Amino acid sequence: MTIYVGNLSFDAEVEDLQHLFGEYGTVRKCSLPLDRDTGRKRGFAFVEMAAESDEQKAIDDLQDVEWMGRMIRVNKAEPRPSAPRGGRW
C-alpha cells in the first residue's frame, strides 16, 4: 500500500516527509512529484512504508493535521485511472 499525502506545503522536502512518517515505522520510499513544465513541486507526495500496520497508523494519526502551515490530507493512494489510448472519440 502507498500513502497519498495531499495539500502539502511547497516548502516540504523528501527528508521532511521521511522524518514525519519515520515516527510511525520504516519509510521504504518517498516521492514528491514535480510539474513537467515548470519543475515545481505539485503539492502532494507518495510515501511507502515497510509495514502496512505502520502505514495505517500514520494515516489514522496524520489525516487533517496541520503540518508546515497546511492542513494535510493523508489516505491510501488509489491507482491512477487508465486513459483511453489512441484514436479520437
Number of folded domains that form the chain = 1
Beta bridge partners, 76, equal: 3
- Residue 31's contacts (CB-CB under 8 Å, 6 or more residues apart) are 14, 45, 46
Residue 89 lies inside a defined structural domain of this protein: no
Q: How far apart are the first and last CA of the chain?
A: 34
Residue 89 clears pLDDT 60, i.e. is over it: no
Question: Which pLDDT score is estimated for 87?
Answer: 57
pLDDT for position 56: 95
81 occurs within a structural domain? no
Q: What is the pLDDT of residues 35-83, one digit of tens each?
A: 999 999 999 999 999 999 999 999 999 999 999 999 999 999 988 777 6
With 0-12 CB in 10 A as exposed, 13-18 as middle and 19+ as buried, what is 72? Answer: buried
Query: Structure pTM?
Result: 0.85
Q: Is 86 part of a structural domain of the chain?
A: no
Kind and range of the H or E run holding 20 = helix 14-22
Residue 17: CATH number of its domain: 3.30.70.330
The predicted-structure confidence for 39-49, as pLDDT tens digits, reads as follows: 999 999 999 99
Rg (C-alpha) for the chain, rounded Å, is 14
Domain around 16: 3-76
By DSSP bridging, strand 45-49 and strand 27-31 are antiparallel
Give 3-43 pLDDT, tens digit per residue. Answer: 999 999 999 999 999 999 999 999 999 999 999 999 999 99
